[in-house]
Structure 1
Amino acid sequence: MLQRHNEHILSLSPQGRLMSVDLLRGLAIAAMVLVNNPGSWSYVYAPMAHAEWHGWTPTDVIFPLFLFVVGVSMVLANGRRETFPAVGWPQWSRALKLFGLGLFLAIFFYNFRDPAYDWFEDRLTGIRWLGVLQRIALVYIFCCYLVSWLSTRGLIVAAVLCTLVPWLMMLWIPYSGDSGEVFRGQLLFGNHFSAWLDHWLLGSEHLYYRNAEPFPFDPEGVLTTLLAVSTCLLGVLAGLAWKACDGTEEGRMKLCRQWLAAGVLLLVVGQLLHPWVPINKALWSPSFVMVTGGVSLMLLATLFYLVDIRGFRGPLAPLLVFGVNAIALFMLAGVVGRVLIMIPVGETTLKGWLFSNVFEPLFGSYGGSLAFAVSCLALFYVVMWQMYRRRIIWKV
């Protein structure tokens, strides 16, 4: 039955697309939904949680992987053409829609358990301006301009500059706190140049870490978004390498080896830099760009070899259901996740009740938390499958 289902998925797959990229996007968004929806944030297995500050876990790779796929997809959407269209309303429309969806998720919450809850004050006047979708929007439109303006060599230079310039700013530009104390080169939680910039530009009430000291900041902050552009540009460069491939099996194998070798090199160099340039997701440090870019290239090479060269597709087919409707899945997961914590059940919420009364008794605390996330992903798969089989692709 599962084999027939997978065959049905493949028979409906959109034509003219590089399947490994759709699968990689599906893997990224499925992993993102899985780690964002535990039964309880108090019980999360270490690989499914972000590193506390410096360092990295598999979860820290997920968002960069998605941005990497955005870059690859930008090139693939242009087919085999050598020139890219000028940036206009289609690109800006997509970026604005993504940013708007991010703002919608930021305000989509109401605390029904608190009679004195002030939604206007909490969600609207204190709206978080930046977030995951907002970062995707900003990185996407920035890269659209770079891709339309620059040659491949220029894009390499741009990727290097987007990595180094913001980092050098963090290390060398002095900044001061409210008490007048001057800092420079700090890379601490709540005390780094990017945090000071977020606090100064956006205001503490509009940031994710509102209580960080001495500077509230956002993990998707202003300066670090420029660093994230370099991750997307790595995807663009990977896509350009595909465009340059001659299409023969020998050419595709050569491309696969190039992606794999580049991925291993970036991963190793980034890890070796860690003692001097800490791997840090919130700072989107150069070593973080290298490590996550390396993992992304290795995953792309692996899927490209298995799916597009060797034709091993059946067991991976369900990822297509997620991959072709990634933003729809993200929005569905975001809305349902918020609804589950909005609905009061006794002294807790519907999510708390389900975890405490169903999942935790059956699977234990950590196992139950993971089982809850897997159940959510399975439920979302049913919805995404109905969209997929009806060929409904939500294009933002």
Structure 2
Amino acid sequence: MIEYTEQYFRGLDLWSLWVDQAFVNASADGLRNFYLYSLSDECEKCPYTRIHEIKSEYDETNIIELDVAHRLYFRVFERNLGKYAYDNDSFVCQFDGNLGEFGVYDLRIKDNGTTTCELETAKEPVSIYLPFLTIALIALTLISLVVGGKYLARRIRRIEPQLTPGSPSSTQNDIKKNARLRSVDTFRGIAITLMIFVNSGGGHYWWIEHATWNGLHIADLVFPWFLFIMGVCIPISIRSQLSKNIPRVSILQTITIRSLKLFLIGLCLNSISGPAMSDLRIFGVLQRFGIAYFVVSTIHLYCYKENEQFVNPVCARNVDIFRLWRHWLIVGILTLVYLIIIFFVPAPGCPSGYFGPGGKHFMGIYSNCTGGIAGYIDRMILGDKHLYQHPTARYLYDAQSFDPEGPFGCLPTTLQVLLGLQCGVLIITYTNAVSRIRRLASWGVALGLLGGILCSFSKNDGWIPVNKNLWSVSYVLVTGSLAFFLLLICFILIDVKHYWSGAPFLFAGMNAIILYVGHTVFHKMLPWHWNIGRMNTHFMLMLEALWNTIMWNIIAYILYKKNVFYSL
């Protein structure tokens, strides 16, 4: 059985452990008690945190349960230093260990004049990646069978289209200007499918879940990709409305109503656990969608001139960019204001330029500075009780409440949507497939390099680290780069070469808002979610997450077949 371990080992109930947990059996020779402190590899510039008092005599309390998702470093002290131990505190021994799930480890502290520590493996941990690889292989096998079956069916029925002497070539490079790109809907479908999967737990793998503070994990790609593809559709939608001679005032009214709908739906979803107004979270994913959509759509409605011509040859060759110079100016000012504030305006009791997680970060000297000035502004606008109470940094860093979708972060979010809008204008301006491919690739490379320079191609050591919580500029650029590349791949495979229809993601992309609201409302309800047994392994958690994701994709397929499509 995958990720299976026997229930009992030396009297320890291994099935009582949660995913990514292990037992440490600590013992101390001699007459003194010792204190064990640990430090996670994920916790940047943190002190060691007390986890257990190791008594000299044998005691069941010397059995310690540890979270071993990340590498741990240990120090043993002969006195209780309180909750934290710092680098200037004297310790009797230190060691580190790459402990694993459901492993059992013996820690022996020998106190014979000179104190020494030994950590030995009593029972080997299980492989946590075997379930992931197994499920991936099963999925690839099923996909191969489906694709192979369809290919054989086409061959048998001889349904391949035959080109007649006067018919257009199937390899033509020009794509109809008003043709709907299936790659755009497929991109949106990939984003919503990935969102459902990670919101279902993603198998509880740390690299799938959101990064604790700095860094980029799979879950951190979903939201910016949604904003990007929303930006792609803005110029296409507004162009279509203007071509029907709809007044700009009426279009602005439609934009405003849609933005309010997004905000209000998001607010209602925040009350799903109970509509207590005293601590209702005000902002969220859809709320930020609504604000960013309103700002960028309004800018495009009144600033874009599709027939604007340029004499300068550089401008003429890049007309899709220079027709948006007003957009870039306005959003550039908003982004500059954001950067000036986070770098030069200090929050009370915090230094200027600090945008760390607070808590025990930097050895706890900025414990009340979670998010720096960004967190402070959000707390002043909304109040602490109306922020998100379970940020990723709260448990590892002992940080304050912090809202990753708070109001201040809306400023750089407009840049994310503008990148998508730039992509949409590129698609409208250039109908030649080769031109689109070159420009999509160029944007992907340029944004990736610029984002990498800002973060110094590192997790924590750059000028502006990649940070989803703060929606840092480097985060916008890096995720924007990946969005350009993903859309490029979809465009080539689906709209140019016709190797792929976009299924099954195409169906999800056509009803993304239904899937988003639905998977939020019916979270933890049958038949989408279930609990079988202890649900304490990556394998079972991955199965449940995949089941939920597949169920919603089946619903999307049924809606697609019935021609039921809903958009705000």
Calculate the TM-score normalised by the size of structure 1: 0.82
Number of the residue aligned with 1:308: 495
The answer to whether the 8 A contact 1:253-1:305 is kept is no
Partner of 1:355 in structure 2? 531
1:259 Cα shift?
Answer: 0.9
- Tell me, yes or no, if the aligned pair for 1:191 and 1:215 is still in contact at 8 Å: no
**Structure 1 CA distance for aligned equivalents of residues 514 and 550 of structure 2:** 15
Unaligned runs of 5+ in 1: 8-14, 110-118, 344-349
> What is the aligned counterpart of 2:522 among 327, 336, 354?
336
Distance 2:532 2:383 in 1: 37
Hey, what does 2:24 align to over in structure 1? none
CA RMSD, aligned part only?
A: 2.7
Shift of 1:133: 0.7
Cα deviation, 1:14-34, whole Å, max 9, x if unaligned, reads x94211100000001110111
Other-structure match for 2:133:
none
Alignment match, 1:225: 410
1:243 to 420, 428, 438: 428
Counterparts in 2 of 1:91 and 1:259: CA distance versus 1, 3 Å: same
Q: 1:291 to 1:175 in 2, by over 3 A?
A: same
Taking a change above 3 Å as real, the CA distance of residues 126 and 154 of structure 1, as seen in their structure-2 partners, is same
Per-residue CA distance 1:286-308 (angstroms, 9 max, x = gap): 11111001001111111111111
Q: Structure 2: where are the runs of 5+ without partners?
A: 1-144, 154-177, 305-323, 358-369, 456-461
Q: Tell which has more relative contact order, 1 or 2 (C-alpha 8 A, sep 6+).
A: 1
What is the number of residues matched between the two proteins?
352
2:336 equivalent in structure 1: 164
**For 1:105-137, what per-residue CA distance to the aligned partner results, in whole angstroms no more than 9, with x for missing partners?**
11112xxxxxxxxx45xx332111100111111
What's the CA shift for 1:162?
3.3
Instruction: Determine whether 1:128 maps to 2:291.
Output: no
Q: Deviations over 1:67-121 (max 9, x none)?
A: 0000001122234768994442211111111111111111112xxxxxxxxx45x
Whole-Å separation in 2 of the counterparts to 1:145 and 1:387: 31
Return 66-75 or 268-277, whichever deviates more. 268-277
Higher helix content, 1 or 2? 1
Residue 142 of structure 1 corresponds to: 295
Q: Which stretch of the first structure deviates more once superposed, 236-245 or 152-161? A: 152-161
Decide which of 243, 246, 268 is 2:449's aligned counterpart: 268
CA distance in 2, matches of 1:230, 1:29: 21
Q: Please identify which structure carries the higher strand content.
A: 2
1:175 is paired with a residue of what secondary structure? Answer: coil
1:380 deviates by 1.1
Aligned-pair identity (%)? 28
Is 1:58 aligned to residue 226 of structure 2? no
Q: CA deviation at 1:148?
A: 1.4
Q: Which residue of 2 aligns with 1:32?
A: 195
Q: CA deviation at 1:215?
A: 5.3
Tell whether 2:351 aligns with 1:187. Answer: no
Please list the CA deviations of residues 366-393 of structure 1 after superposition, one character each: whole Å capped at 9, or x if unmatched.
1221111110011112222221111111
The alignment partner of 2:531 has SS state of helix
**Structure 1, residues 112-170: CA drift from partner, whole Å, max 9, x if none?**
xxxxxxx45xx332111100111111111111111112241112223433333212211
Match of 1:114 in 2: none
- 1:69 aligns to what? 229
Q: Partner of 1:222: helix, strand, or coil?
A: coil
> In structure 1, what is the Cα distance between the partners aligned to 2:399 and 2:539?
37
Q: Which ranges of 4 or more aligned residues in structure 1 deviate by more than 6 Å? A: 4-7, 80-84
- 1:2 to partner: Cα distance: 4.5
Alignment of 1:69-108 (within 5 A): 69-79=229-239, 85-86=248-249, 87-108=251-272
> Partners of 2:482 and 2:390 in 1: how far apart?
32
The farther-off stretch of 322-331 and 82-91 is: 82-91
Alpha-carbon distance change, 330 to 254 in structure 1, aligned in 2, over 3 angstroms: same
Aligned residue for 2:541?
369
Confirm or deny: 8 A CA contact 1:194 1:222 kept in the other structure.
no
Q: Could you tell me which of 551, 555, 563 is aligned with 1:379?
A: 551
Rate the CA distance shift 1:201–1:215 in 2: closer, same or farther, 3 A: farther
Residues 90-99 or 205-214, more deviating = 205-214
1:288 matched to 2:471 = no
* Cα pair 2:350 2:372 within 8 Å, conserved: no
Partner amino acid, structure 2, of 1:271: G
